[in-house]
Each structure stands twice: as C-alpha cells, then as structure tokens.
Structure 1
Amino acid sequence: MKFPLTHAELMSQAPALFTEEPHFDVSDKYHFIPTIDVINEIKANNWYPVSVSEAKVRQEDKEGYQQHLVRFRHFDDLLAPQDNAVELLLFNSHDRSKSFSISAGIYRFVCANGLVIADSVFESYKIKHLGDRENDVARAVANITNIKPKLMEKIERLETIKLSQLEKESFARSAIPLRFDKHLKVDYQDLLVPHRDEDTNDDLYTVLNVIQENLLRGNISGTNVETGRRFTSREITSISKDVDVNQGLWDIVERIASIKEPEMALAA
C-alpha cells in the first residue's frame, strides 16, 4: 500500500513547497501563493500527496523558488489500489518560471510509471499568481475527481487495442523526436524492449508504457551523426522534459487509437 507523504517528508524532499515569499526578482504585481497552502486545500478535497520533486537550479539565489511537482492520489485509490490510478498533478514555482497548474496523470503500479495526460485530452487549469485562486483550485480538483472514472475507462479501452509488430515499430519511430534531436540517431527497436513479463503484451497501453519507460529512464545507445561518437542516454530528471515527453506520447496514442478504432473518443 502506498502511504501519503507526511509534512516532514514533503519538507525534506522539496523545501520549495514551504517557501514563504516569492523570489526577489518578481514584480510587485506578482500574487504569491505558498504551495503548501494549495496542498492542504487539495488534501481537504480527499486527494493526498504521494510523490514530489523539484527542479535543480543553476543560480544559487533560485534555490527554494524553483519549479516543483506534487502528485496526489485520491483517498479511494489509496484505500483500495488497482493496477492503475488517476493522479492529480500540481505544478508551481516561486520565480515565475512556472505558474500554478493542476492537471491529470495515470500511475501504473507494475512498473511505477507516472504518465501525464496531454492537454488535448484533459485541459489543465492554469492558476495565475494574479488575483484570487480559491475557485480555480476547487474547480480543477472537482473536475479531475469527476473525470476519474472516465479516464480509467479510457485505459481499459487502450488495453483492448492490439498492435501488430509494424504498428509498434511505427509508434516507436514517432516517439524518438520527443527525446532525441535529429543529429542523435537511435534504434527504434530499443524503445520496444520490455523490462518485465507483464510488458510483453501487444496492447496499446502496454506499448505506451514500455516506450515511455525506455525514453525516460535512459540507457538507450545511439550515435551523434555530427561527431560520429557513440552515446548512451541518461535518465530524464527535468520536470519540464518529463512532462513534454509524456504528453507527446499521449498525443501519439490518441492518433493511433483514432486510426485503430475511429469511434473511440479519447477527449474527455
């Protein structure tokens, strides 16, 4: 069973959540909102933080103000875990690099993959630092809570769509630009290598998770065509890059599903 993070764990893993004032470089019009206040508001709506991360900083004066991400899981899913769980994602920063936004994701327990659903499917709510936030937070949380069953139905539908070997290869080739620039050549077959028995299935949802895991966790070998040197990809640790890859993959899944089953409406 996955337990929510305690107050002490949140503080230890992401001190930026508890920053009490904005970065000195922001304008006087900047409406500062401590992230921990929003976390407590979300918890009051039956969602609990289960993981947190914050971006690394290059400038020392940005420490404590950088972008951060908190993933929440509904009380029902903590009480009775299933194979997949809908998550609520909270993004923020205190240096204007990232505005408040609340979006949706999927967590797959078998491989600990955290997907981020593309905005084309679920519209994230951008909560600007100018003005009142309370109604925005409440509406976004309520929306994700209401759409939770529909998202789980979509996952079940994706699991019914079978891909041929050629279709899996096309998926992998389409995914390469999400992670690698044009001058970095990799073998698309490497993105289809499963890391556990459960990932040998040919359904669209499983293939999505296999490709996502290989893109994000790295260890993919390739060649830099500009220098002729070999390279091995590293794990993606950037919050922004992680989200970009995830949402790009979800967009590809949408297109594949619409081709394979035109009647399947993925949009929420």
Structure 2
Amino acid sequence: MDTTYLASHFSRNAVGTRSDRPLTNDEIATVAPSIFALSAHESRSERYTYIPTSDVLDGLRKEGFQPFMACQTRVRTDDKRAHTKHMVRLRHADQITGREANEIILLNSHDGTSSYQMIGGMFRFVCQNGMVCGNTVGDIRVPHKGDVIGEVIEGAFRVLDGFESATRQREGMAGLALTDGEQAAFARAALALRYDDDKPAPITERQLLTPHRMEDRAPDLWTTFNRVLKT
C-alpha cells in the first residue's frame, strides 16, 4: 500500500460536501465556489498561470469519472473565497460507494496557496492532513507558471492509462486463489521484508492474515495482498 501526500493539506474546518451519488455543479459550487473560478485571484502576477479546475472536471466527467466529494479551505477575507485551495474526489458513478474503486483526486487553487495536483489510484482513505493511503497509479503535480496546460492534459492521460494497467493487474491477482500454505508463505515473506532479521517481528503470520472485515476473507492473491498490507 502506497502513502502519498497532497501538495497541501486541509484544516479540519474546511467546507465541503460528500454524497453517495454524483454531485452536480450547483451542489459543488455551494460549498466550493473556487472550483469554478474563471480567472486567478487579483493578487497573482502576470507570471502566474491560471489552471481551470472546472475544465479538468468536465474532461474527467467525459471519461466516466464523477465527483462525489468536494471541499475548499475557509478564508479570512471574502475576496479569496472564490479562488482559494480546493479538492475534488471522483469515481465512476456505480463505484462511489464501493469498497475498492478507481479514484481521482484533484487539488488546486487560484490564489497561489497550492500547486495543481492530480492523483489516481485505489485509495483506502484520504485524510485532511494530506495523507492518501492506497494503491497509487499516478501523481501529477504542476506549478502555476509557464505554459503548463499541455502538462495538465498529458498528466491526465497518464493517470487514466495507469488505471488500465492497474485494473489488469488487480484482476489477475483476484483470479489466483491461494492455499492456506501459500497465504502463510506470502505473509512470511512480507514480514521478512518489513523487519530486520536480528529482531523478532512484533506480529505473527497468523495475525497478519487475520481478516478484520467479512469482505477480506477471500483466499485470492489480491485480497491476501491487501490484508497483509493493512495490518
């Protein structure tokens, strides 16, 4: 399991919304109007490159990814509310409530408080402190300077292509059933990689393989892999 960090974190009092269905632009704009800013904040110089989050959002919708969560930071002055740092999380509509799903996280701002970032992967959780845990297929970061729109577009395609490769790998692992002995060998190898040989591991193979949820009991390689990594 990878641990990736957002280019900037969000405080606990960030304003946001989350739904079990795709969010409309009106619903997003109610809590995160900065996503639809039409230009950079007036405090930015001519060297600052405006990267429209709304255009990226529209493009991802065309690729089947729908926003289900959006938020932005609180600001001390109202003049920055329409340009401040914001985040959008997207999944395919039929996977929004799924345990495992391909997901894209967009992070951006129009006032210089954050660079543009797109992360793609299958995430276990996303914390407001900026930590993202899961299987990442792409992490694109673009600063707001120079002719960067091409980088944004190219980065989006790299993330989308990464999903195809990750899906094939995941399906292959899910289709391979392991015996109890093979699962134990997998856990033993994981412990050997994680801990030094001269010190006993603080956890046993059996504990490493113990499922904590009903859906984690399957004996296939993909489930075993995630069960071991989560412990």
2:163 is equivalent to residue 148 of structure 1:
yes
Alignment of 1:31-42 (within 5 A): 31-42=49-60
2:144 is equivalent to residue 129 of structure 1:
yes
Contact residue 20 and residue 34 of structure 1 kept, 8 A: yes
2:39 is equivalent to residue 21 of structure 1:
yes
Shift of 1:6: 0.8
Q: Deviations along 1:139-175, whole A, 9 cap, x unmatched?
A: 22222222214324359759977547x95xx79xxxx
Contact residue 67 and residue 88 of structure 2 kept, 8 A: yes
- Whole-Å Cα distance in 2 between the matches of residues 123 and 197 of structure 1? 28
Shift of 1:83: 4.1
- Whole-Å Cα distance in 1 between the matches of residues 172 and 97 of structure 2? 16
Q: Bigger shift: 85-94 or 24-33? A: 24-33
Q: Deviations along 1:100-127, whole A, 9 cap, x unmatched?
A: 121213145xxxx355558xx6442223
SS in 1 for 2:101: strand
Shift of 1:92: 0.2
Q: Which residue of 1 aligns with 2:105?
A: 89
- Whole-Å Cα distance in 2 between the matches of residues 44 and 200 of structure 1? 33
- Whole-Å Cα distance in 1 between the matches of residues 109 and 96 of structure 2? 32
Q: Which has the larger radius of gyration?
A: 2
Shift of 1:87: 0.9
Q: Which residue of 1 aligns with 2:72?
A: 54
Contact residue 105 and residue 116 of structure 1 kept, 8 A: no
Q: Kindly indicate whether structure 1 or structure 2 has the higher relative contact order, using CA contacts under 8 Å at least 6 residues apart.
A: 2
Match of 2:61 among 28, 43, 53: 43
2:211 is equivalent to residue 205 of structure 1:
no
Cα gap change, 1:116 to 1:64, in 2 (>3 Å):
farther
2:153 is equivalent to residue 138 of structure 1:
yes
Q: Which residue of 1 aligns with 2:119?
A: 103
Shift of 1:89: 1.6
SS in 2 for 1:124: strand
- Whole-Å Cα distance in 2 between the matches of residues 134 and 45 of structure 1? 18
Cα gap change, 1:59 to 1:198, in 2 (>3 Å):
farther
Shift of 1:59: 5.6
Identity of aligned residues (%): 24
Task: Give me the TM-score of the superposition, normalised by structure 1.
Answer: 0.51
Cα gap change, 1:163 to 1:56, in 2 (>3 Å):
farther
Q: How many residues align?
A: 180
Q: Which residue of 2 aligns with 1:264?
A: none
- Whole-Å Cα distance in 2 between the matches of residues 42 and 18 of structure 1? 15
Q: Which residue of 1 aligns with 2:4?
A: none
SS in 2 for 1:37: helix
Cα gap change, 1:5 to 1:209, in 2 (>3 Å):
farther
- Whole-Å Cα distance in 2 between the matches of residues 57 and 48 of structure 1? 27
Amino acid at match of 1:146: D
Shift of 1:2: 4.5
By percentage of residues, which structure has more helix?
1
Task: Give me the TM-score of the superposition, normalised by structure 2.
Answer: 0.58
Amino acid at match of 1:145: L
Unaligned stretches of 5+ residues in structure 1: 172-191, 211-268
Shift of 1:94: 1.2
